[in-house]
């Protein structure tokens, strides 16, 4: 009993201890890759290839004054970034990394992920409200509307997966894909999930809550120092999480087709797949412009919602008739 629990705690600690530096690395990777795509070099001075850039940034951010605006609501102001980081980290608890790594096999794993994603919005909304400044407030309101809307399609889009695998348990979903990845039949669902995921983690092109050009920095305008770093951490962990979930739900998790699977351990395959998605997210960021807010919501309700419902119904019909 006791050693088992200790072992679990150790596993959690290791996963967190790997995830957080990874998120920090991601900041560097993103800046470097965007640099390459914009015909620049990107940060390449600190350490070999600039790998330690994030460390330098961290040190700098720790040295900054951690200012809490006197006009803010102190408690909520402090709480907001913590909620964000915790929600994203909690979601990782249900992600099955490999056949025997993964914190928990919750039988409602998928629901747990959706729940945490929907709680994460509080971080942004409350940050916007507590800052008590108009830019932050606008950002928070945008975040609330955007997240609540896109949550709907995100939930609906993964229901096709649940229909086909018959379970909410993420590990079982992965195992059910041993014959073939679900992307073969659920490409519409995957597309919707991806778009909704971008909107949920408010990355570009759907970063309207923090749209720099119009809202200075949106909901984290008033944040500085460590609390700002927490927001940053939450954002990059969110990107990793959405990538991981896409891989788990649609691309067979750690599974690979026959000849390839023997080459590398499952965990490595999983990470490689995640990195592909992260790269895709970064590519989206460099290439696509930000839509207007009403366009975003219109696109959501007019295009994505019918598409998600259609996908669900067609999947159900095909399932009933035994095609899938």
Partner 1 sequence: MNKEKLANSLIFSQLRTMWLVLKHTFTKADTVQYPEQKPYLAPRYRGRIVLTRDPSGEERCVACNLCAVACPVDCIALQQVVDDDGRKRADFFRINFSRCILCGFCEEACPTYAIQLTPDVELAEYDRQNLVYEKEHLLINGPGKYPDYSFYQQSGIVIAGKGKGEAEQERPPIDIKGLMP
Partner 2 sequence: MLTDLATIDSLFYLAATVAVIASLKVVTGSNTVHALLYLVVSLLAVAVCFYLMGAPFAAGLEVIVYAGAILVLFVFAVLMFGLGKDETINAPKSKSVANMFGAMLLAFALLLELTVIINNAQIQQTLQANVVSSKAVGIMLYGPYLLAVEIASFLLLAGLLAGYHYAKPDVQGSQL
Tell me which residue of 160, 150, 237 sits closest to 195, measured CA to CA: 150
> Considering CB distances under 5 to 8 angstroms, the limit depending on partner class, which of partner 1, partner 2, none binds residue 137?
partner 2
- Looking at residue 216, the DSSP 8-state letter turns out to be T
Contacts of 46 (CB under 8 A, 6+ apart): 52, 53, 55, 56
Residues that bind partner 1 (CB under 8 A): 35-41, 283-284, 286-288
- The smaller minimum CB distance to partner 2, of residues 112 and 269, is found at 112
The answer to whether the CB of 143 falls within 8 A of the CB of 125 is yes
Give least dist CB 215 to partner 1, A. Answer: 23
Residue 80: exposure state from Cβ atoms within 10 A (0-12, 13-18, ≥19):
buried
Number of H helices and E strands in the chain, helices first, is: 13, 0
Q: Are 143 and 80 in contact (CB under 8 A)?
A: no
Alpha helices in 201-265 (DSSP H): 212-215, 225-250, 258-261
Q: What is the dihedral of CA 274, 279, 283, 285, to 10 degrees?
A: 70
**d(Cα 68, Cα 152) in Å, to the nearest integer?**
34
Nearer to partner 1, 69 or 205 (CB): 205
* C-beta of 216 vs 286, nearer to partner 1: 286
Q: Which does 286 bind (CB under 5 to 8 A by kind): partner 1, partner 2, none?
A: partner 1
Residue 277, contacted partner among partner 1, partner 2, none, CB below 5-8 A by kind: none
Minimum CB distance to partner 1 smaller for 43 or for 81: 43
- Of partner 1, partner 2, none, which one does residue 38 interact with (CB within 5 to 8 Å by kind)? partner 1
Q: Which is nearer to partner 2, 58 or 163 (CB)?
A: 163
Instruction: State the minimum distance, in angstroms, from the CB of residue 44 to partner 2.
Output: 40
In the complex with partner 2, the residue whose CB is nearer, 13 or 178, is 13
**Using CB distances below 5 to 8 A depending on partner kind, what does residue 111 bind out of partner 1, partner 2, none?**
partner 2
CB of 83 to partner 2, least distance (A): 8
Give min distance, CB of 188 to partner 1, in A.
13
Per partner kind, with CB cut-offs from 5 to 8 A, the member of partner 2, partner 1, none near residue 179 is: none
Name which of 41 and 105 has its Cβ closer to partner 2: 105
Burial of 81 (0-12, 13-18, 19+ CB in 10 A): buried
What does 8 bind: partner 1, partner 2, none (CB cut-off 5 to 8 Å by kind)? partner 2
List Cβ neighbours of 9 (8 Å cut-off, separation of 6 or more).
none
Residues in the chain: 324
Minimum distance of partner 1 from residue 286's CB (angstroms): 5
Residues 6+ apart with CB under 8 A from 81: 123, 127, 223, 227, 228, 230, 231, 234
What is the torsion angle, in degrees rounded to the nearest 10, for the CA atoms of residue 21, residue 24, residue 26 and residue 27?
-170
Shortest Å, Cβ 268 to partner 2: 26
Binding site for partner 2 (CB under 8 A): 1-2, 4-5, 8-9, 12, 73-76, 79, 86, 90, 93, 103-104, 106-108, 111-112, 114-115, 117-119, 121-122, 125-126, 128-129, 132, 137, 140-141, 144-145, 147-148, 151, 155, 166, 168
CB of 150 to partner 2, least distance (A): 11
Which of 127, 123, 271, 150 has its CA nearest to residue 206?
150
Which is closer to partner 2, CB of 8 or CB of 292? Answer: 8
Minimum distance, C-beta of residue 205 to partner 2, in the bound complex (Å): 22
């Amino acid at each position: 009993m006791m050693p088992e629990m200790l072992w679990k705690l150790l596993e959690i600690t290791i996963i967190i201890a790997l995830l957080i530096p990874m998120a920090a690395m991601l900041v560097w990777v993103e800046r470097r890759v965007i640099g390459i795509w914009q015909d620049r070099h990107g940060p390449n001075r600190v350490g070999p290839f600039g790998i330690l850039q994030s460390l330098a940034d961290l040190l700098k951010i720790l040295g900054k004054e951690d200012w809490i605006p006197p006009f803010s609501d102190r408690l909520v102001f402090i709480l907001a970034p913590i909620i964000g980081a915790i929600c994203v980290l909690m979601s990782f608890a249900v992600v099955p990394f490999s056949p025997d790594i993964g914190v928990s096999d919750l039988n409602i794993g998928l629901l747990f992920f959706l729940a945490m994603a929907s709680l994460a919005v509080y971080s942004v909304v409350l940050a916007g409200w507590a800052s008590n400044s108009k830019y932050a407030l606008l950002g928070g309101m945008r975040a609330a509307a955007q997240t609540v809307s896109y949550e709907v399609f995100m939930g609906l889009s993964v229901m096709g997966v649940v229909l086909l695998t018959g379970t909410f348990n993420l590990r079982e979903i992965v195992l059910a894909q041993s014959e073939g990845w679900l992307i073969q039949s659920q490409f519409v669902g995957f597309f919707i999930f991806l778009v909704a995921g971008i909107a949920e983690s408010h990355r570009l092109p759907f970063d309207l809550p923090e749209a720099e050009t119009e809202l200075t920095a949106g909901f984290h305008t008033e944040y500085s120092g460590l609390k700002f770093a927490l927001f940053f951490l939450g954002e990059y962990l969110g990107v990793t999480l959405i990538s991981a979930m896409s891989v788990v739900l649609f691309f067979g998790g750690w599974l690979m087709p026959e000849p390839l699977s023997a080459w590398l351990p499952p965990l490595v395959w999983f990470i490689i797949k995640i990195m592909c998605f992260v790269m895709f997210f970064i590519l989206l960021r460099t290439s696509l412009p930000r839509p207007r807010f009403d366009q975003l919501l219109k696109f959501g309700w007019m295009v994505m919602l019918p598409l998600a419902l259609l996908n669900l119904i067609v999947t159900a019909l095909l399932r009933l008739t035994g095609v899938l």
